[in-house]
């Protein structure tokens, strides 16, 4: 995840946005920080799922049984 300083800055900007509004530069900073947070969150979630033995499907909605190619969702 992100370090405490970056999380604090995200919260600070969110609070300022609600009260006073943000400048264009602050909006860009907030967007960049949020994107970094989301990427860190996703990476952490992928690692947790991989630790449980779950892997993403190569193609959405396809079978991973390895015996044949079909769609289990139909």
Q: Residue ranges of the domains in the chain?
A: 1-74
Question: Would you state the CATH architecture of domain 1-74?
Answer: Orthogonal Bundle (1.10)
Nearest to 7 by CA among 27, 31, 37: 37
Q: Is the pLDDT of residue 60 over 60?
A: no
- Two structure tokens written together for 20: 């006073």
Top pLDDT among 3 and 72 is at: 3
Q: Dump pLDDT digits (tens) for 15-58.
A: 999 999 999 999 999 999 999 999 999 999 989 988 888 876 66
Q: Is the pLDDT of residue 6 over 70?
A: yes
- pTM to 2 decimal places: 0.67
Nearest to 38 by CA among 59, 7, 12: 7
- Two structure tokens written together for 68: 């044949």
What contacts 73, CB < 8 A, 6 or more positions away?
A: 61
């Amino acid at each position: 995840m992100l370090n405490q300083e970056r999380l604090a800055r995200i919260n600070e900007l969110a609070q300022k946005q609600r009260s006073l509004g943000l400048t264009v530069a602050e909006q860009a900073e907030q967007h960049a920080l949020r994107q970094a947070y989301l990427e860190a969150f996703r990476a952490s979630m992928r690692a947790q799922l991989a630790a449980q033995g779950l892997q993403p499907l190569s193609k959405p909605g396809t079978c991973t049984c390895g015996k044949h190619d079909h769609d289990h969702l139909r």
